[in-house]
Amino acid sequence: MSTVVEELLQMQISPAGGGGGRDSQSHPGKEQQAAGVGILLQIMMLVLSFVLGHVLRRHRFYYLPEASASLLIGLIVGALANISNTETSIRAWFNFHEEFFFLFLLPPIIFQSGFSLSPKPFFSNFGAIVTFALLGAFIASVVTGVLVYLGGLIYLTYRLPFVECLMFGALISATDPVTVLSIFQELGIDTNLYALVFGESVLNDAMAISLYRTMSSLKSHAPGQNFFMVIFRFLETFVGSLSAGVGVGFISALLFKYAGLDIDNLQNLECCLFVLFPYFSYMLAEGLGLTGIVSILFTGIVMKHYTYSNLSENSQRFVSAFFHLISSLAETFVFIYMGFDIAMEQHSWSHVGFIFFSIIFIGVARAANVFSCAYLVNLVRPAPRQIPVKHQKALWYSGLRGAMAFALALQSVHDLPEGHGQTIFTATTAIVVLTVLLIGGSTGTVLEALQVVGDDHDGPLSESLDGNNGYVAPSYNEDATSGNRLKMKLKEFHKSTASFTALDRNYLTPFFTSQNGDDEEEHGKIDYCQNVA
């Protein structure tokens, strides 16, 4: 493999050499050949990543997950490019701006995440997922930002302004446990724990990008804005994007229900329209000055829960395979690029202390996130449904950083002046690589040490699917809770979650789909089993 890559790299020396712009203009054929070789190398790396990932998964080698293998391939190719003295030409193949991430790579990844979130086990844990994803991401962002700022004040780390520290805390709070989830499936981890990890990772991306955009807006405007204006800007960004995504999802559901497209000779039209709606949602939000990533995420959730049921069976199989395909390609390419970037780009490695202490601060913030939110969730859950401590530890350990954190860090290079963005980008890239390689590779061992492997009996899915759409009503004891207002409020919120589930089953599902709630429930069980398999 290394010999082939070196030969391909050597083919690029003369076209990329010192001829400058005049030489490239006089040899358009060589320029076209160089572009073709560059694309060929990228395809080779993608093919190698998928084949190597399959071999590792088939042999149950958990110490090198698929994402880690993609990172290492990028690192190796980048190192060979440096050795072959072709770093200028090969960097041009990968030299795209953050717009490429947000327009072409992240949308299919985020939509597929939301599209996979609607099966029954996730909605039966909806209250806990929202708590971890929204409140938890906010806690992690603030704790990380404050600790980084304090570290700068006492000269432990590179000093950044407070708002920039909060921006860093927001972008680094986005988790992407794709590596951990694949190991969860292989080891047979408890379904509710899987749902919590997956659901949190999906929704906290929306929270992280909204917080980042809010802090970035705060920095670019007058610094004297009061606290309420900051809250208003955040709610405007998050709620507006959420509303746009949900609205587009509902419109698509009604269109596919009443347009009569679920017949054989209109399958192509049906699939084309279904694929276009997510990007319509994304561009609508961006055009309104909102966040397209948040919008397309909730469009994916709504379209899977409602619109998907209105498709013909052939179209259902096609769109599921299509979005899984493009999201796998995009995510693999992101990890390859991250490894390649480490080897090729000029990073601010002079601030190694900032990277080291940031990792410690992130661990502390993750602990504050998980254990405080688990405490709140357990306050309102009956004993059989409470999150055990060993699951909380597994949830804390599974908070890897991935594509969203990397893309936001790439954007920070342009958002922040005086090299601060480059420092954040270097730290984020290093953190993503270290967490994927070290934490991802050791997840299987840690899960066995926590004794959560094969732990389905602790929270069986069959129990959570019985009655009231997976919700187990807590036993209200007035004497025990009369003096605890917080606990009562949390119980009311938990009860409202069940009320929403009943509303969805009795009213929303019949209105937006051509089947009743019971059919949707059964379909969700079958679809979830297929996804896990």
Query: What CATH number does the domain containing 128 carry?
Result: 1.20.1530.20
CB 169 within 8 A of CB 148: yes
User: What is the Cα–Cα distance from 354 to 420, expressed in whole angstroms?
Assistant: 12
Instruction: Tell me whether residue 56 is in a domain.
Output: no
In a domain, 13, yes or no: no
Does 495 map to a domain? no
| CA gap 313, 295 in Å, rounded | 27
Residue 411 lies in a domain: yes
Can you read off the two tokens belonging to residue 257?
């229900």
Tell whether 456 is covered by a domain: no
Per-position pLDDT tens, the chain of length 533 = 555 555 554 544 444 444 444 444 546 667 777 677 777 888 898 999 999 988 887 887 777 878 888 888 988 888 887 776 555 555 555 555 567 777 888 889 888 888 876 556 777 788 888 899 889 999 999 999 999 999 999 988 888 999 999 999 999 988 876 667 767 777 777 788 888 888 888 888 888 888 998 888 877 765 556 667 778 888 888 899 999 999 999 999 999 988 877 666 778 888 999 999 999 999 999 899 888 888 998 999 899 989 998 998 889 999 999 999 999 898 888 888 888 877 776 666 677 888 899 999 999 999 999 999 999 999 888 888 889 998 999 889 888 787 788 888 888 888 887 778 888 988 898 888 888 888 877 877 888 888 877 655 444 433 333 333 333 333 334 444 444 565 565 555 555 556 667 777 788 888 888 865 455 445 554 444 444 44
Determine, yes or no, domain membership for 472. Answer: no
Q: DSSP strand E in 318-473: where? A: none
Burial code of 101-127, b = ≥16 C-beta within 10 A, e = fewer? bbbebbbbbbbbbbbbbbbbbbbbbbb
* Domain ranges, residue 172: 99-450
Please report, to the nearest 10 degrees, the dihedral formed by the alpha carbons of residues 278, 283, 284, 285 taken in order.
100
The answer as to whether 336 is a domain residue is: yes
DSSP state of 203: H
Helices (H), 306-351: 313-344
Residue 236 lies in a domain: yes
Total of domains in the chain? 1
